[in-house]
Amino acid sequence: MSPSEEQAIQRILKQVDALGLFPQAAMKIHQVASDPESSQRDMERAISLEPALSAQILRLANSPFYGLRRNVSNLRQAIFVLGFRAIQGLAMSLAVMHMGKSAHPARRQAWRHALAVGIAARRFSSRVDGIVPGDAFVSGLLHDIGETLLMAVEGDEDLVILHTDHPHADAWLAAERERFGCDHAVLGAACLESWGLPEGLCEAVRLHHDAAAIAEIEHPTARRLAEIVWLADQVDRARLGEIDLDGLHARIEGAPLYVPQAVGWPLVRDTLDALPDELERLAGADLPSPDRKPKRTGPRRRVSRRRTGGRVGWRKTG
Ligand SMILES: [Fe+2]
Ligand SMILES: [Fe+2]
């Protein structure tokens, strides 16, 4: 990393701190999850600081992607099902999405993309030895956290314009570097490092746009986790219509990686087909309101999959 990139990252992270919006609940959950002495009761108390997060956690625990036969009706059961790491990832993602209290559609779109990549990563982890499914989920959930930090600090609209003007990943990463001094991948990894998250997760975030660099990661578990996140990100880009099925197949075949072969094309296709419904179940709640009012209850919003012909998004994702 060049000194100017390092400087840019430190400048942005200082601004993130200065925003002072990282909520108490997320910090508390982070502390509980990082402390091996913590009990389920400690986690329950931390989560209940943020009612909207409790709702999201129950929704996730009851989603078919955990495949439970019986209903998870309270936080204690949900913590047992999800595990501390997944809850930590959810809390951080929600907190970061709300930095700057923006209700901009780009922020919601980013949240859906993050969830989708988490879901896909968790599915793929079942075919890869040595990867804990919860770790894969959290890594997917947090992979574009740098992009959300940039939105919070630099403005949602700026990021949308920058990505719209540069439709391909390489071009928008270069545009981010030119505009902000660093791209969202290195920024996200630096932020997660500063919060004390595991090195393998930070590496997966740093390299999620660079298959060739992922192939060079020495530690086998870290490399496989990064490969899973890369693959999940590619699959969700296909859901968003940024690449077509042939393009997705070509990228997967052309990547110098082991995981795509281990996962296999049928599971990739199955995941791509399953993602819209999974997302609707999980993100149907969307984000809790940025001003932290109690979450509204009521019928779930029907998402416009049919109206958009399967494309949920309207902008490029990172
Ligand atoms: Fe992404
Ligand atoms: Fe990205």
Higher pLDDT, 209 or 198: 209
The number of the ligand nearest the C-alpha atom of 317 reads 1
Q: How far is CA 31 from CA 48, 79, 91, 258, in A?
A: 15, 15, 12, 35
- Between the CA of 317 and the centroid of ligand 1 the distance, in Å, is 6
Does residue 216 belong to any structural domain of this protein?
A: yes
Cβ contacts of residue 36 below 8 Å, gap of 6+?
A: none
What gap in Å lies between CA 163 and CA 207, rounded to an integer?
19
In this structure, is residue 158 part of a structural domain? yes
33 part of a folded domain: yes
Do 286 and 97 contact (CB within 8 A), yes or no?
no
Of 255, 36, 88, give the one whose Cα is nearest residue 232: 255
Report pLDDT digits (tens) over 217-270.
999 999 999 999 999 999 999 999 989 999 999 999 999 999 999 999 999 999
Does residue 292 lie within any of the structural domains?
no
- The reply to whether 291 falls in a domain is no
CA of 230 to the centre of ligand 1 (A): 8
Cα separations in angstroms, 89 against 11, 49, 84, 141: 24, 16, 9, 7
Q: What is the CA(37)–ligand 1 centre distance, in A?
A: 34
pLDDT digits (tens, 9 = 90+) for 259-307: 999 999 999 999 999 999 888 877 654 444 444 443 443 443 333 333 3
Range of the domain at 169: 3-283
DSSP state of 134: H
Residue 274 lies in a domain: yes
Within-domain flag for 92: yes
Nearest ligand to the CA of 209 is: 2
Nearest bound ligand to the CA of residue 140: 1
In the reported structure, the alpha carbon of residue 286 is separated from the centroid of ligand 2 by a whole-number distance in angstroms of 20
Q: Convert 173-221 into a string of H (helix), E (strand) and C (coil).
A: HHHHHHHHCCCHHHHHHHHHHHCCCCHHHHHHHHCCCCHHHHCCCCCHH
CA of 184 to the centre of ligand 2 (A): 7
Residue 78 CA from chain centroid, whole number: 20
User: For residue 255, what pLDDT is reported?
Assistant: 94
Task: Judge whether 61 lies within some domain.
Answer: yes
Ligand located closest to 176 CA? 2
* Res 136 pLDDT > 70: yes
What is the whole-number distance in angstroms between the Cα of residue 112 and the centre of ligand 1? Answer: 10
pLDDT given at position 41: 92
Distance separating the N- and C-terminal Cα atoms of the chain? 20
Ion ligand 2 contact residues with beta carbon within 5 A: 144, 318
DSSP three-state, residue 52: helix
* 21-59 pLDDT, tens digit each: 566 777 788 889 888 899 999 999 988 887 777 877 888
Look up the CATH number of the domain holding residue 236.
1.10.3210.10
| Ligand number with the minimum distance to the CA of 114 | 1
Separation of CA 144 and ligand 1 centre (Å): 5
Count of domains forming the chain = 1
Q: What is the mean pLDDT of the chain?
A: 82
Tokens of 26: 């997320």
pLDDT digits (tens, 9 = 90+) for 77-93: 888 888 888 888 888 77
Indicate the pTM of the whole model. Answer: 0.80
